[in-house]
Amino acid sequence: MPALYDITPFSLLDYPDEMSCIVWFAGCNMRCVYCHNPAIVTAKGGKDEAELFSFLEKRRGKLTAVVFSGGEATLYAGLIDIARRVREMGFKTKLDTNGSRPEVLKKLLKEKLLDYVAMDYKCPPHLAPGLIGTDKLWPLFQESLGLMIEASAQGEVTFEVRTTVSPDLMDEAALNDIIRDLGEKNYKGTYYIQNVFAHGEKTIGKIDAPSRKVDPALLDQPQGFTLAFRNS
């Protein structure tokens, strides 16, 4: 059963231009081979909601935002209630998600409980079994992507799409599939490509260190949106 795992009390990196804390949710419905948080993915708990809100009470006026991350935060049954309370306390909210739970996103968007959503576009569907451990979540991810592109076009929420990649596991041709799909869906934000953060024993798939980085010269020109690199 997904649960609260931990709280990072302060970050200037995870929510652009905000002083945020990060709430980590245990449990995930994917098993990305490059995942560098295996402890969170398999954890059963760590903190409870009372601890979270006691922490937030003390941070009123000091922090400006709360980031929900994981693991996969949308698996946590109480996420919507938490987001409601966090907003009532005056904090902005950001959700990091793998996009596999459109029904939760829909509720969060309907109540306008999110200011920022960062969604992982893991890979094209043919690579999903080997890279994220399942090919069952693709239709749900596509639904989430459509929901978020529409919500951001209406100015309801800031939305970013990102892909973590080792070119040994997913090459530029696969990234071009994603670039094409985002263009066809009329995505207007920034698409971030970031190199894997870890390798070896720290990762779920105990992956090898990448032999190279993504070659920008092999990527197609995005149509209607911006392409950017992180930690390249």
Residue 84 binds ligand SF4, judged by CB under 6 A: no
Smallest distance from the beta carbon of 41 to ligand SF4, in angstroms? Answer: 5
Determine phi and psi for 199, rounding to 5 degrees.
-150, 175
Binding track over 86-125 against ligand SF4, x by CB under 6 A: ------------x---------------------------
Q: Please report how close the Cβ of residue 45 comes to ligand SF4 at its closest, in angstroms.
A: 16
The dihedral sign for the CA sequence 128, 133, 138, 141: negative
Least spacing, CB of residue 220 vs ligand SF4, in Å: 25
Closer to ligand SF4 by Cβ: residue 63 or 104? 104
Element (H, E) at 73: none
Token look-up 């997913």 returns: 170
Q: How far apart are CA 55 and CA 47, in angstroms?
A: 11
Q: Per-residue x/- mask for ligand SF4, residues 153 to 192, rule CB under 6 A?
A: ----------------------------------------
Size of the site for ligand SF4 (CB under 6 A): 11
Cα separation, 4 vs 24, in Å, equals 6
Q: How far apart are CA 173 and CA 216, in angstroms?
A: 11
d(CA 147, CA 117): 11
Least separation in angstroms between residue 54's CB and ligand SF4 is 26
How crowded is the C-beta side of 174, counted as CA atoms within 13 Å?
A: 20
Q: Pick out residues in 23-52 that bind ligand SF4 (CB under 6 A).
A: 28, 30-32, 35, 37, 41
Residues that bind ligand SF4 (CB under 6 A): 28, 30-32, 35, 37, 41, 70-72, 98
